[in-house]
Structure 1
Amino acid sequence: MRKELDTSILQWKNKPNNYVVGRSRIIFETMPYTDLWSRTLLGTIKNNAHSITFKIEQNFTFSCKVNYHFKKEYDQAGLVIYANDDNWFKICVEYIDEQHSLLTTVVTYHGFSDCSTTSIGSAVETMWFRVTHYNENIVVENSFDGIHYKQMRIFHMKFRGDKFEVGMFAASPKESSFDVIFEDMIVEDCIIKEENIRY
């Protein structure tokens, strides 16, 4: 089954001052000095990024179109999965400068974040992301057109409760603020089928 996300079930973590939650679109403006990172290299814990999530327990696939207009270094927007405060994941585009940005995945396990990145041009201001949960394994993908997806990462994450929190996030780690639009938010049955897995 494939359906649009019911935005009435969404809940905020670190609600921004300026936002609109519509039936098929979410728009908000980030606030300065917000971020999502834990301990590694920097030694600090930042968990004040703006995120809006829903709870889900079964195997699933969630995809979303992200439109962003970054202004300063490290401005970022994408999707997030929370098992709890010490175990979470984010996939996003992260602005570096006028020439290049980063496609970034961060897996935080037992309170420590790790990060992998791929460079893209900063002229790109729209990205589709897709996350699939299959028996405590998560596959993450990105697309430049919403049709052709490329795999970015696979990792293992256990529930730290009865459900995951899944949704959208954005943050401005420096003295910055930008507008972000999330749309085409689709929840569907897990697209990974056991018979298609290679052994």
Structure 2
Amino acid sequence: MITGEWLNPPAAVVRDGSALLVTAAKGSDFWRTTSYGYDRDGGHALLSPFGPEAALEVSFVADYDRQFDQAGLLVRLNEEIWIKAGVEYCDGALQLGAVVTNDVSDWSSAPVPWEGREVTIRASRSGDAVTIRARAGSGPWRMIRLAPFPPGVEAAAGPYCCAPEREGLTVRFTGAAPGPPDDVLHA
């Protein structure tokens, strides 16, 4: 079952068995400064404690098709230090990517043919880093990002979604599972 405390409660939340249907408010987003010139900290995230040596997997259905619709996993220390990773619809295609923020945001992405599929994002935190991996269905894990993150401090993590450009985005989150961090960076 998916649990936690809401950072910026969404427009609606409905439990459907073990799934959670989350409807994002128009204008919701996480971003800091870079290129766009604004700071946004109004995305919806269901956060739980995320310790220094831990991992979390968040699963959801990538079934959206409007500019900047997005869902995935957020790792957050505060409004200036966080990582969001997931699938975002951008420029006519679903993009698998990550935004790493330490005062300012950066963004990396690449198109994926995952329309309508269940996607799982995994954040593994160990030492001074968070390793982000993703997969569609039961496919192989793909490493998305190895990002710096302050060591030894309590953070929070959980599923997130945003709809910067429109009303009516509803994301089906199908699971969230904590666990130990990855044993190795490369298989």
TM-score by length of 1: 0.84
Q: Secondary structure at the match of 1:121?
A: coil
Q: CA deviation at 1:21?
A: 5.0
Partner of 1:81: 75
Contact 1:140 1:153 in 2 (8 A): yes
Partner of 1:130: 122
- Give the unaligned 5+ runs of structure 2: none
Aligned 1:45-194 pairs, distance under 5 A: 45-96=39-90, 100-109=93-102, 111-121=103-113, 123-158=115-150, 162-193=153-184
Distance 1:31 1:59 in 2: 33
Q: CA deviation at 1:123?
A: 2.8
Distance 1:118 1:91 in 2: 12
Superposed CA deviations along residues 46-65 of structure 1, whole A, max 9, x for unmatched, are 11011110012241111121
2:21 is the alignment partner of 1:27: yes
150-159 or 45-54: which moved more?
Answer: 150-159
Q: CA deviation at 1:12?
A: 0.3
Contact 2:2 2:20 in 1 (8 A): no
Distance 2:114 2:128 in 1: 34
Distance 1:115 1:137 in 2: 17
Task: Specify the code of the residue in structure 2 equivalent to 1:35.
Answer: D
User: Are residues 197 and 104 of structure 1, via their aligned partners in 2, closer, same or farther at CA, if it must alter by over 3 Å?
Assistant: closer
Distance 1:32 1:153 in 2: 28
Contact 2:114 2:136 in 1 (8 A): no
Q: CA deviation at 1:67?
A: 1.3
Task: Specify the code of the residue in structure 1 equivalent to 2:183.
Answer: I
Q: How many pairs are equivalent? A: 187
- Give the unaligned 5+ runs of structure 1: none
Contact 1:90 1:107 in 2 (8 A): yes
Distance 2:66 2:186 in 1: 41
Contact 1:128 1:146 in 2 (8 A): no
Task: Specify the code of the residue in structure 2 equivalent to 1:69.
Answer: D
Distance 2:139 2:117 in 1: 17
Distance 2:2 2:65 in 1: 30
Q: What percent identity do the matched residue pairs reach?
A: 20
Q: CA deviation at 1:24?
A: 3.7
Q: CA deviation at 1:17?
A: 2.6
Q: Cα RMSD between the aligned structures? A: 2.3
User: Are residues 22 and 134 of structure 1, via their aligned partners in 2, closer, same or farther at CA, if it must alter by over 3 Å?
Assistant: farther
TM-score by length of 2: 0.89
User: Are residues 71 and 181 of structure 1, via their aligned partners in 2, closer, same or farther at CA, if it must alter by over 3 Å?
Assistant: same
Q: CA deviation at 1:92?
A: 1.4
